[in-house]
Amino acid sequence: MRTTPRWSGPAVSRRGGRLLGRVREDLRAAWPALALRWHRWHNDGAAAVRTQAHLIRFTPRYRESLAAYEELDALIARYGGAGLELALHPHRPDKCVFFVGYSRSGHSLVGSLLDAHPDIAVAHELHALKHFAAGRPFDAVARAMQYNAQIFQRLGRQYSGYDYHVPGQHQGHLRYPVIIGDKKGNGTARLLLRHPKLIDLLERDLPVPYVFVHVLRNPYDNITTKAIRTGRDLGAAAQRYFSNAELIAALKQRIPQRIVDVYLDDLIAEPKSCLETLMDRLGVEADAGHVRDCASILFKEPSRTRERLRWPRALVQEVDVQLARYPFLERFAGGFGAAH
């Protein structure tokens, strides 16, 4: 039995787009990489530290490379923090959080709100699960998560046209590492789809408890944004969405206590109760100032991206049927024209 709708549409070649993206990334990284060599050659340690941090912040290839963080660690040990105040907490965190779900669904927002808590550090797209799958030590990945969270605070939390800075809170400044985490929702889902036995690895080898945070936005907006940004047609974007949803359903069957749902519309409508519930599920104490300041940066309502493309009526009907199959998505069935 098929678990996703049999949609077809014009085949869109994305190989050229991915290649072009890699070329652009290499070009963007070329000058900082050359500058880093220059600074190291001339023993300009402070500039070398800042350049390495810049590469991690703005270049995905460096951001996902543990070697980049190990190099940063070595530079800091030799030259100091170059005014960036990059310093690791010596204690191992009590819990690890992964994000899992669908791209363009609000993971960056929720990750930034969590990172603003004094006892939580959430990295931005380090792709931590990939490193655990490769057998890298937990402590090495946790160090990289801390550096990543600090760098995103020092060098700017703007991403995809939004600023995720929470004024007056602890982004990039960890009081005590109760929770360490990484925001890579769609990447984590796709990795688990390819390698479902990674759950066995986490259950067996991760030295601390772990939780998956699952952020949900109205799927019609989610699918539309994916189609616009990737060049896929709506049917192909929907099919990819529901393959991730099938993974989430399987995880909820196997490890229900480790999946925490966060609905973006609930977060916007009732930020205080939603954040307090999230903190309770994660096992950290809710801080009144943190909750208040996080609520202050939320937009008034989710973006209705679904209105930017023409949805065929038959496709809307097929998506509604699929949404009704999943308890965590059924609230959105019939929701194409809904307010949220």
Q: Residue 10: what pLDDT? A: 42
Angle between helix axes 288-296 and 271-282 (nearest 10 degrees) is 130
Q: What dotted CATH number matches 95-332?
A: 3.40.50
192 vs 14: CA distance, rounded Å: 22
257 vs 289: CA distance, rounded Å: 28
Q: What's phi and psi for 288, nearest 5 deg?
A: -60, -40
Q: Residue 36: what pLDDT? A: 61
276 vs 282: CA distance, rounded Å: 10
Per-residue pLDDT of the chain (340 residues; tens, 9 = 90+): 333 444 444 444 444 444 444 545 555 555 566 656 655 655 677 888 999 999 999 999 999 999 999 999 999 998 888 889 898 998 999 999 999 999 889 999 999 999 999 999 999 999 999 999 999 999 999 999 999 999 999 998 888 778 899 999 999 999 999 999 999 999 999 999 999 999 999 999 999 999 999 999 999 999 999 999 888 899 999 999 999 999 999 999 999 999 999 999 999 999 999 999 999 999 999 999 999 999 999 987 778 899 999 999 999 999 999 999 999 999 999 988 765 5
Q: What is the CA radius of gyration of the chain?
A: 20
Containing 69, the helix (H) or strand (E) segment is: helix 66-79
Indicate the pTM of the whole model: 0.88
318 vs 5: CA distance, rounded Å: 7
290: tokens are 């943190």
Q: Residue 104: what pLDDT? A: 87
Tens-place pLDDT, residues 86-130? 989 989 999 999 999 998 899 999 999 999 999 999 999 999 999
Block residue for tokens 């699960």: 129
